């Protein structure tokens, strides 16, 4: 099983120098559309989990308080440079999404873009998001998901053994994951490649 925290830290450290070349333009519109679903208010406390190099920053309001985490120190360094170039005040830390160090009921919005499909245990990551969100908080997710109404085929599961080692899991289902973590999905919008990539807005149930 290659999809481990240690392996993810290594591989995303290796990907960091070229990550923007691959991900910036490809996911620009999907990120923007996902964040537009959030009901923003000035002064909100916002956490970006698995923030990578900070590609969400241009699409976030300027009147909110931003904190960001990523497993890879190389990614966090690039995020800090991007924040500085954009004139954004972001407190960025190296942190495992499955073991957040923030207190309970701390954030108004948690953003998880392109992380649930790569973390070893997405249920733990969502449980942590639920823990640090306020009771009336919002969870903004954008990722690739297998359809909720049918299991992954044998061929897809076989291909997943390869894709999950080098890039991403392609068999995870949004509905069951969110429900089991105690979230109610309020918006579910296809944003890329048909319905493969979806933008979800959810609240603690």
Please, what is the Cα angle at 4 between 103 and 52, to 5 degrees?
A: 60
More confident: 31 or 12: 31
Superfamily grouping for domain 5-204: Vaccinia Virus protein VP39 (3.40.50.150)
pLDDT more than 90, % of the chain? 74
Q: Does position 165 have pLDDT exceeding 90, yes or no?
A: no
Domain ranges in the chain are 5-204
Q: Does position 185 have pLDDT exceeding 60, yes or no?
A: yes
More confident: 68 or 10: 68
Arithmetic mean of pLDDT, 112-121: 93
What does pLDDT average to over the chain?
92
Q: Which of 154, 127, 146, 137 is nearest to 195 (CA)?
A: 146
Tokens of 43: 């002064």
Confidence of residue 1 (pLDDT cuts 50, 70, 90): very low
Contact 96, 50 (CB under 8 A): no
């Amino acid at each position: 099983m290659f999809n481990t925290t240690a392996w993810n830290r290594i591989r995303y450290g290796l990907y960091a120098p070229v990550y923007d070349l691959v991900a910036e333009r490809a996911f620009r519109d999907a990120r923007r559309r996902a964040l537009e679903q959030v009901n923003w208010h000035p002064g909100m406390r916002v956490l970006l989990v698995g923030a990578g190099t900070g590609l969400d920053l241009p699409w976030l309001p300027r009147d909110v308080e931003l904190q960001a985490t990523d497993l890879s120190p190389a990614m966090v360094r690039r995020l800090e440079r991007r924040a500085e170039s954009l004139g954004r005040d972001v407190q960025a830390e190296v942190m495992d999404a499955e073991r957040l160090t923030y207190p309970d009921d701390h954030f108004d919005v948690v953003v998880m873009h392109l992380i649930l499909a790569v973390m070893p245990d997405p249920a733990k990551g969502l449980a942590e998001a639920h823990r640090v969100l306020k009771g009336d908080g919002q969870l903004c997710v954008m990722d690739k998901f297998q359809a909720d109404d049918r299991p992954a085929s044998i061929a897809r599961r076989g291909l997943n053994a390869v894709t999950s080692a080098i890039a991403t899991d392609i068999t995870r289902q949004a509905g069951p994951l969110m429900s089991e973590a105690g979230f109610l999905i309020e918006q579910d919008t296809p944003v890329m490649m048909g319905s493969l990539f979806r933008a979800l807005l959810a609240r603690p149930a």
